[in-house]
Structure 1
């Protein structure tokens, strides 16, 4: 299994049908809002996004591998189910660390915007930000 091709396909259909087999059972995940260990927690987070948000889209801009490290650049967007249906956009990047079995043991997301900016997007349109 080519990890880069698998990740590209996962990004295209996100959050539907992720290839969880590429993750170590004790995977470490961190982003600006949360930090945890374990594939079960990771699956719960993806399921939460799939269930709660509408029109979730993860656009992959770049992906490359150097040794056991995979780096991606992306934009995550969704519509929050509030009466005024704000569209949230988070540009960011991920650093994934692979073990010898080619499984992801660490997945760290970095946002190119602040947590406050993401909250603000729920209340102000892009024209008023």
Structure 2
């Protein structure tokens, strides 16, 4: 895996307007991008042959691939569902799962409030299946060096809850990719049984920035 990305593989990095488009750009992330612009000698594997779009598509399939290969041993999805809870009760459970369970980096979430075929979407991934999602999260993040902070959570309408959060951490790959702090939001949509059938994320970083951070090696904190 290359230690940095070649600027010709990332044409929009040549322009200062790229940094202006980020909302808000953490200093450490900005420094890493500037360092890439000035000191790159490597390249994304396959980028020259296949092009930037193909590399991004492969990155987008990464989580699905991981989930599909790990869900087989991920256990059986819960059948004892907590149906017909009030939306405020569901909100409280989600709040606890984020604040205490840190489920985005541990996978420790209350399965009983989700449909087994819940759809999970983010800017890089679209997969269906509660156990697939949990397996992917547990495979990707090192829970000892990663964390999620709940910024806010609210009921939007009788079937929708929205949470805003901040996330950072290290991934479980040999080069210890470090995902710098970024913010996102998740919309939880409930079905007629009062179970979550859709879990959709938005991020304040681009897919390309996420790819860059995935490829860069780092040193695990001691």
What is the CA–CA distance in structure 2 between the aligned matches of 1:85 and 1:110, rounded to whole Å? Answer: 21
1:58 to 134, 144, 148: 148
Residue equivalent to 1:21: 112
User: Kindly tell me: are residues 100 and 54 of structure 1, through their superposed partners in 2, closer, same or farther at Cα, counting changes over 3 Å?
Assistant: same
Is 1:42 matched with 2:142? Answer: no
Structure 2 unaligned spans of 5+: 1-84
**Is the CA contact (8 Å cut-off) linking 1:90 and 1:118 kept in structure 2?**
no
Q: Deviations over 1:91-125 (max 9, x none)?
A: 11111100122211001101111022223345499
Is 1:114 matched with 2:206? Answer: yes
What value does the CA root-mean-square deviation take over the aligned residues? 2.4
Between Structure 1 and Structure 2, which shows a larger proportion of helix residues?
2
Structure 1 unaligned spans of 5+: none
What is the CA–CA distance in structure 2 between the aligned matches of 1:28 and 1:85, rounded to whole Å? Answer: 27
Aligned to 1:55, what secondary structure does the other structure show? coil
**Is the CA contact (8 Å cut-off) linking 2:170 and 2:176 kept in structure 1?**
no
What is the CA–CA distance in structure 2 between the aligned matches of 1:32 and 1:84, rounded to whole Å? Answer: 22
**Is the CA contact (8 Å cut-off) linking 2:177 and 2:217 kept in structure 1?**
no
Residue equivalent to 1:30: 121
Is 1:101 matched with 2:193? Answer: yes
Between Structure 1 and Structure 2, which shows a larger proportion of strand residues?
1
Greater RCO (Cα-Cα under 8 Å, separation 6 or more): 1
What is the CA–CA distance in structure 2 between the aligned matches of 1:67 and 1:11, rounded to whole Å? Answer: 21
